Amino acid sequence: MIVNIFSHDNFHQICDELAATDADLRSVIRTYGYPPMWKRSNTFESLVHIILEQQVSLASALAALNKLRDRLKEVTPGVLLQLTDEELKACYLSRQKSIYVRHLATSILHGSIDLDLMPRLPDREIRILLNQLKGVGNWTIDVYLMFVLQRADVFPSGDLAAVNALKQLKDLPVGTHKEVLERIAMNWQPYRTVATMILWHYYLSRRSSKTAGKPLRNVNPD
């Protein structure tokens, strides 16, 4: 089975292809340069990190992850399950997110989720598997597909930063419906992930000049 992925070898080439067909994306690259190629390893820790990022600032999520790293040394399913509620709370995990990461850890240990298998599965099958986990919805799965598996054709319509950047870049009304945005993103197939990274780059570059020091907040339905 062939899956559509991107890598350091073709990332800039894909950016150039998108820029050639979309003047707004081209203007972002000309103004701010190529976006970073955000990437994370295919590990339990990475999925925990994405769960921690749900509906909080990226800085807050990273602080919680670093607390877990300090306490556990290595964030793995077995050692995480040894932590008590109070110990997880001391690592800045809410009761709800403690439930989510424990369920993920248990699912991996019991074999119902096999991260090593994920790179060989199509996006649709990955969505079905991960959507069975408590606290894991479309946004979390989108980020996993984009950052971890480097799937090239994902548009995270639940990501506030990407959505706001698209509205600003295309000069769309604030209340533009999600379906309209998704139709616009269809023009970027089969590289919607890379187009989204250009949107994030635009959002962060503009934001850094206006609100330096304030963390990006993810608002999503997960």
Q: What is the pLDDT of residues 171-212, one digit of tens each?
A: 999 999 999 999 999 999 999 999 999 999 999 999 887 654
pLDDT tens across 4-50, in order? 999 999 999 999 999 999 999 999 999 999 999 999 999 999 999 99
Plot region of 133 (φ>0 → left; ψ -120 to 50 → alpha; else → beta): beta
Q: What is the pLDDT of residue 2?
A: 64
Task: Please tell me whether residues 48 and 84 are part of one structural domain.
Answer: yes
Mean pLDDT calculated for residue range 87-100: 97
Phi/psi for 118 (5° steps) reads: -55, -45
Phi/psi for 151 (5° steps) reads: -70, 130
* Domain edge (last residue) among 148, 172, 195: 148
Q: What is the pLDDT of residue 207?
A: 81
pTM greater than the 0.75 cutoff: yes
Which CATH number fits the domain that encloses residue 90? Answer: 1.10.340.30
Task: Please tell me whether residues 69 and 127 are part of one structural domain.
Answer: yes
* Neighbour tally for 117: CB within 10 Å: 11
- Secondary structure, 3-state, the chain: CCCCECCCCCHHHHHHHHHHHCHHHHHHHHHHCCCCCCCCCCCHHHHHHHHHCCCCEHHHHHHHHHHHHHHHCCCCHHHHCCCCHHHHHHCCCCHHHHHHHHHHHHHHHHCCCCCCCHHHCCHHHHHHHHCCCCCCCHHHHHHHHHHHCCECCCCCCCCHHHHHHHHHHCCCCCCCCHHHHHHHHHCCCCCHHHHHHHHHHHHHHHHHHHCCCCCCECCCCC
Residue 217 located in a structural domain: no
| pLDDT at residue 215 greater than cutoff 60 | no
User: What range does the domain containing 61 cover?
Assistant: 44-148
Amino acid (1-letter code) at residue 97: K
Q: How far is CA 61 from CA 64, 94, 162, 179, in A?
A: 5, 11, 19, 29
Residue 63 located in a structural domain: yes
For tokens 């780059």, the residue is 201
pLDDT tens across 102-140, in order? 999 999 999 999 999 999 999 999 999 999 999 999 999
Q: Identify the band that residue 216 occupies on the pLDDT scale cut at 50, 70 and 90.
A: very low
